[in-house]
Amino acid sequence: MTLNSVLQLVIFMVVLLALVKPLGLYMANIYEGRSAVNRIFGPVERLLYRLFGVREDDEMNWKTYALAFLVFNAIGLLVVYVLQRLQTSLPLNQGAQFLTTPMTPESAFNTAVSFASNTNWQGYGGEMTMTYLTQMLGLTVQNFVSAASGMAVLVALIRGLSRRSAQTIGSFWVDLTRSTLYILLPFSIIMALFLVSQGVVQTFDTYQTAQLTQPITGSDGSAVTEQVIAVGPAASQIAIKQLGTNGGGFFNVNSAHPFENPTPLSNFVELLAILVIPAALCYTFGKMVGDTRQGWAVLAAMTLIFAVLVVGVSLAEQGGNPAFNALGIDQTPSDLQAGGNMEGKETRYGIVNSTLWAAATTAASNGSVNSMHDSYTPLGGLIPMWLMQLGEVIYGGVGSGLYGMLIFAIIAVFVAGLMVGRTPEYLGKKIEAYEIKMSSLIILIPPVLVLVGAAVAVVSEGGLATIYNTTPAVHGFSEVLYAFSSASNNNGSAFAGLGANTPFYNIALGICMFFARYWLAIPVLAIAGSLARKKIVPAGAGTLPTHTPLFIVMLIGVVIVVGALTFFPALALGPIVEHFIMIGG
């Protein structure tokens, strides 16, 4: 890596970590109801409660909390589906003649599940498929509420860990409202204004046309003299897509599009937006359980894994493709070129900002891209894929990433308890059979969805029909494995060489996204309810401290071992074999 690359990575990590404490403290104050901003948003919050018949002090047990979570998300899913099916008959359709990709029932199902589950997988091109109304009322609204739903589940789990002999874990409606009103909405407004200042479009004007200075010949032999330029209310969607770790692009090429991400400064700020809330929630966790060391320990485990893997993907891409050497192509970094493997990357960002984004978006369950992951070297593409396969717990989605990592922490103390012959404890709560059963579901469901889904795809006619990269065949398999890893871990990014907008993939990936979100959230809430009912056990001589470097190393080990043992055989059939083909060919 060049000195410039190292400096950019270091500066990014320093700025990110510097924001953790102030933002984390702010969010802890919000969820505990003692923030000074209550004076500003408090009246709005109380008005919303009155309108919807919610009492702020009316708390729920875990089953009621889970039911509210499911019903709310089901309504959102249905609304987005219906909106897509009717969109060309509704206002703000910017001229239906520009929408060239029909929204079929299975595509609408896939998209509705995708945005309701905070996955934001897109089997369509936004500017060719979605009207302005669908983008705003359907997709952008789900960007807010799906993120807020994940944050609500996390806060419920934190209450379960911090309370003693309690039957309730809070109110879903209160947690949802506060996450949206106090955190996501104000920061998104600020972010959107910044993006507009950088050149991101925000308009209700219809698509524009421009005359070509050099007319070209179309595929049908006719002369093409003008280009249609898609515009729209993009900045408002891009802001929450990053802050809520959603990732769905307003335009087809996502954050590689100059109308979504025009400048190096916008690129840096959008990257920060992807990781800042998931990272800061670690401090929120520590503050709410009364021991900030616990939050720092979890953040340290996340950051150490992320730092190693982001360096790994950068090195893989900076090393370039050996096949180019035989062609006399210079891949050495210089003042005139970035060097390395620049295929599929924007020259205005270069390799380091592309690979940092690739690692951040797959670590954080965001899924947006500013370069095409399908064009990465085999090892460069393996790392983002593996970050997803670790369970999206390295920062992860807002809320969902941290509650996933806390489940791994519970498993880590369970393993430690087995080694020393003591009942495992985490934050003074005994970890017993019920918690381990629920934790097992949480860590087993995504791998089952990934591996079974990929296996079915590569042996079925519908799955094989749109695998276009068959030379080598292992790359086509990698594309399928990436797709199911993305959907089954609620990420949303893709190896875009796979034709995924088909009935088979729309339905299969939609099912994976649905179960990966809701079959995991429900066991998390069950654990929260179980832990809330327990008493705090005083720490003894045999209690494992969960804020020390030893526990951080153990937590990292559990995360990596589970991910490595589960997916190594599949990775060996895809990117690992492809790497050896590349260096040997």
pLDDT tens digits, 328-371 = 888 888 777 778 899 899 988 999 999 999 999 999 999 999 99
For 104-124, give the secondary structure using H, E and C. Answer: CHHHHHHHHHHHHCCCCCCCC
Q: For the beta carbon of residue 345, count every other beta carbon within 10 angstroms.
A: 24
Mean pLDDT of the chain: 92
Residue-wise burial string across 311-323, b where 16 or more C-beta atoms lie within 10 A, e elsewhere: bbbbbbbbbbbee
Query: Looking at residue 570, what is its pLDDT?
Result: 93
* Mean predicted confidence (pLDDT) in 418-441: 89
- Cα(431)–Cα(433) distance, integer angstroms: 7
**pLDDT class of 57 with cuts at 50, 70, 90:** confident
- The token pair at 440 is 């097992």
Contact 241, 247 (CB under 8 A): yes
* Mean predicted confidence (pLDDT) in 319-328: 83
**Sequence-separated (6 or more) residues with CB below 8 Å from residue 223:** 215, 216, 217
Identify residue 121 by its one-letter amino acid code. W
pLDDT tens digits, 411-425 = 999 998 888 777 789
Q: Which has the closest alpha carbon to 524: 121, 169, 237, 211?
A: 169
Distances (CA, A) of 196 to 167, 193, 273: 47, 5, 16
Angle between helices 3-31 and 264-288 (to 10 degrees): 40
The C-alpha angle 556, 558, 561, rounded to 5 degrees, equals 105
Coil vs helix vs strand at 246:
coil
Helix (H) or strand (E) holding 508, with range, is helix 503-532
Identify residue 387 by its one-letter amino acid code. L
* Mean predicted confidence (pLDDT) in 26-51: 87
- Cα(69)–Cα(522) distance, integer angstroms: 9
* Mean predicted confidence (pLDDT) in 305-309: 96
Query: Looking at residue 504, what is its pLDDT?
Result: 96
Identify residue 275 by its one-letter amino acid code. L
Coil vs helix vs strand at 345:
strand
Report percent pLDDT > 90 for the chain.
75
Q: Which has the closest alpha carbon to 105: 86, 92, 89?
A: 86
According to DSSP H, which parts of 207-343 are helical? Answer: 234-243, 264-288, 292-318, 322-325
pLDDT at position 96 over 60: no
- Cα(396)–Cα(490) distance, integer angstroms: 10
Query: Looking at residue 103, what is its pLDDT?
Result: 84
Query: Looking at residue 351, what is its pLDDT?
Result: 93
Query: Looking at residue 116, what is its pLDDT?
Result: 95
Q: Which has the closest alpha carbon to 388: 279, 516, 482?
A: 482
Q: For the beta carbon of residue 222, count every other beta carbon within 10 angstroms.
A: 8
Q: Which has the closest alpha carbon to 419: 301, 566, 565, 551?
A: 551
Domain boundaries, the chain: 22-285
DSSP type of residue 223: E
**Helix, strand, coil distribution of the chain in percent, nearest 5:** 65, 5, 30
Contact 477, 574 (CB under 8 A): yes
Identify residue 336 by its one-letter amino acid code. L
Report percent pLDDT > 70 for the chain.
98
pLDDT at position 101 over 80: no
Query: Looking at residue 273, what is its pLDDT?
Result: 97
DSSP type of residue 371: B
pLDDT tens digits, 152-176 = 999 999 999 999 999 999 999 999 9
pLDDT tens digits, 479-532 = 999 999 999 999 999 998 899 999 999 999 999 999 999 999 999 999 999 999
Query: Looking at residue 39, what is its pLDDT?
Result: 76
- 32 burial (CB, 10 Å; 0-12 / 13-18 / 19+) is middle
According to DSSP H, which parts of 130-229 are helical? Answer: 132-133, 141-162, 172-178, 185-198
- Cα(334)–Cα(2) distance, integer angstroms: 10
Tell me the β-bridge partners of 216: 224
pLDDT tens digits, 442-470 = 999 999 999 999 999 999 999 999 999 87
Contact 13, 307 (CB under 8 A): yes
Sign for the pseudo-dihedral over CA of 116, 118, 122, 123: negative
* Mean predicted confidence (pLDDT) in 40-67: 92
Helix (H) or strand (E) holding 420, with range, is helix 400-420
Query: Looking at residue 215, what is its pLDDT?
Result: 86
Tell me the β-bridge partners of 202: 233
Angle between helices 378-389 and 577-584 (to 10 degrees): 170
Query: Looking at residue 143, what is its pLDDT?
Result: 96
Contact 322, 580 (CB under 8 A): no
* Mean predicted confidence (pLDDT) in 70-87: 95
Contact 179, 148 (CB under 8 A): yes
Query: Looking at residue 483, what is its pLDDT?
Result: 96
Contact 462, 503 (CB under 8 A): yes
Say how far residue 573 (Cα) sits from the centre of its chain: 25
Residue-wise burial string across 479-491, b where 16 or more C-beta atoms lie within 10 A, e elsewhere: bbbbbbbbbbbbb
- Whole-prediction pTM: 0.94
- Cα(173)–Cα(374) distance, integer angstroms: 40
Q: Which has the closest alpha carbon to 120: 142, 101, 87?
A: 142
* Residue owning tokens 């802890």: 28
